[in-house]
Amino acid sequence: MPNKHGDFIWYELNTSDAEAAKDFYGAVIGWTWETSEGQPDMPYHLFSAGKEQVGGMMELTDEMEQGGARPCWLGYIGVDDVDKSAEAIEAAGGAVHIPPTDISDVGRFAMVADPQGAFFYIMRGASDEESHSFAATEARDGHCAWNELMTSDRAAAMKFYTTQFGWEKDGEMDMGPMGAYEMLRHDFMIGAMMSKPDEVPMSMWTYYFRVPDIDAATQTVRDKGGQVTLEPDEIPGGEFQMNGIDPQGAPFALVGKRK
């Protein structure tokens, strides 16, 4: 069964040091890696949880870094028609940073940003094979478990995403001075959005990957040279989240149980 318009279908790390990132995330999350064929000038590294591919990684070139690119995680949202979606995003106040482009035997994609500046990709795959990169209906170690948007304008962002991708608001949680944490549903819970804290320089998506032991993973982050910006914190349902920055500077997040 193919993914529907508005599903998260892939995750990608842009990094300044691919080999170091492989070592870090392999140790922290348990991913295994292989390099995609057919791109000798810009290798694309695929990572898997068990036997299932979850996402990819590419190393930033000097030209990309000179243009302002920095290590970061980006999510891919599946769409029915990349060109029409790119036009609609731009018409709604968003931006198209990489125009609709074909990748042979993979699909068509574009890099875009919402009206508040949060980057993401839109994509239509070349096949109808269903993606399980985001574990929508069950807990799966090594897969993304939650997609979280920090935005400078929560009301405008909610209107944008619900209009573009058919998402729905499904309740909210009071976070005190930080305002509401608004849940997002697309047949199933996909994540949430919240107001951006002042110390966060721009609106951005954060992706939470599941680990079997949150404390062990947090210690491995430190052992491997990463930074822990939020110690494991209990969330509804009894699990714990943590936030960090990998050794190359890309923010990331984990979720898992405490053993």
| pLDDT per residue as tens digits for the range 144-166 | 999 999 999 999 999 999 999 99
Domain locations along the chain: 8-125, 144-256
Q: Does domain 8-125 fall into CATH 3.10.180.10?
A: yes
What tens-digit pLDDT sequence spans the chain (259 residues)? 578 999 999 999 999 999 999 999 999 999 999 988 656 677 899 999 999 999 999 999 888 888 888 999 999 999 999 999 999 999 999 999 999 999 888 899 999 999 999 999 999 988 888 899 999 889 999 999 999 999 999 999 999 999 999 999 999 998 888 889 999 999 999 999 999 988 888 999 999 999 999 999 999 999 999 999 999 999 988 999 999 999 999 999 999 999 8
Domains 8-125 and 144-256 share a fold: yes
> Per residue in 47-94, pLDDT tens?
999 999 999 999 998 888 888 889 999 999 999 999 999 999 999 999
180 contact partners, CB below 8 Å, separation of at least 6: 154, 172, 173, 174, 194
Top-level class of domain 144-256: alpha beta
pTM for this entry: 0.95
